[in-house]
Amino acid sequence: PAIADKAGLVNVHRWQNDKDGVQGFSYPAYRALEGPDLFEGGLVAFNGRGLSLQGKGAPELVFGMLVSGNYFEALGVRPALGRAFGRGDDRRGTAGVVVLSDSIWQRRFGGDPGILGAPIRLNGHSFTVIGIGPPRFSGQFVGFAADLWIPLSWAPAMSGQADLLENP
């Protein structure tokens, strides 16, 4: 509901073969496609995965989306509190930042606005909460409700695959 132009969204995949069917793109392929302005509103990259959330209560398995720095901007989504991250937050070596969904903010953190600026741990790594998504926004796919979003630059640390952002 919070996406500004739903009709303008497209999901881009590559066709592998009849056996493997539709596949995603590698990060280097995404970088090559996002540069030439092929997509009017911008091209975003994403990868969803289960993450262990620690902080304020028992550890919990949550569904996290690792997304490119332009994710919120390209979707036209503004956080209800705080800020979304941008391209500057999505560089390797930058401090971990996270945007929580309204749903997990309410359920896990009691809707406390004091969570902004507070640390949480995801898969053992420290992240600072910088924003809370708008109510009823859970990502770009119906049926895949994200609990939180972190910059894609954290994909190697979250997956344990050191070359994830370089492997074509």
CA 33, chain centre distance (Å): 19
Q: In this predicted structure, what is the pLDDT of residue 72? A: 93
The 3-state secondary structure of 15-60 reads ECCCCCCEECCCHHHHHHHHCCCCCCCCCCCEEEEEEEEECCCCCE
Residues paired with residue 165 on neighbouring β-strands, in sequence order: none
Tell me which of 153 and 25 has the higher pLDDT: 153
- What does the DSSP 8-state code read for residue 91? S
On the 0-12 / 13-18 / 19+ scale of CB atoms within 10 A, 59 is exposed
pLDDT at position 109, please?
94
pLDDT, one tens digit per residue, over 84-123 is 998 789 888 899 999 999 999 999 999 999 999 999 999 9
Please compute the mean of the pLDDT values over residues 19-36 and round it to a whole number. 78
pLDDT the model gives residue 79: 95
Look up residue 120 and give its two tokens: 């949480």
Say whether pTM exceeds 0.85: yes
* pLDDT above 80 for 6: no
Half-sphere exposure of residue 91: CA atoms within 13 angstroms, side-chain side: 6
Instruction: Compute the mean pLDDT over every residue in the chain, rounded to the nearest whole number.
Output: 88
Question: With contact defined as beta carbons under 8 Å apart, do 66 and 151 qualify?
Answer: yes
pLDDT in tens, 66-92: 999 999 998 899 999 999 998 789 888
Lowest mean pLDDT among 68-82, 113-127, 128-142, 151-165: 151-165
Residue type at position 24:
G
DSSP alpha helix (H) spans, the chain:
27-34, 71-75, 102-109, 155-159
Q: What is the mean pLDDT of the segment spanning 22-32?
A: 80
What is the structure's pLDDT at 92? 87
Amino acid making up residue 68: S
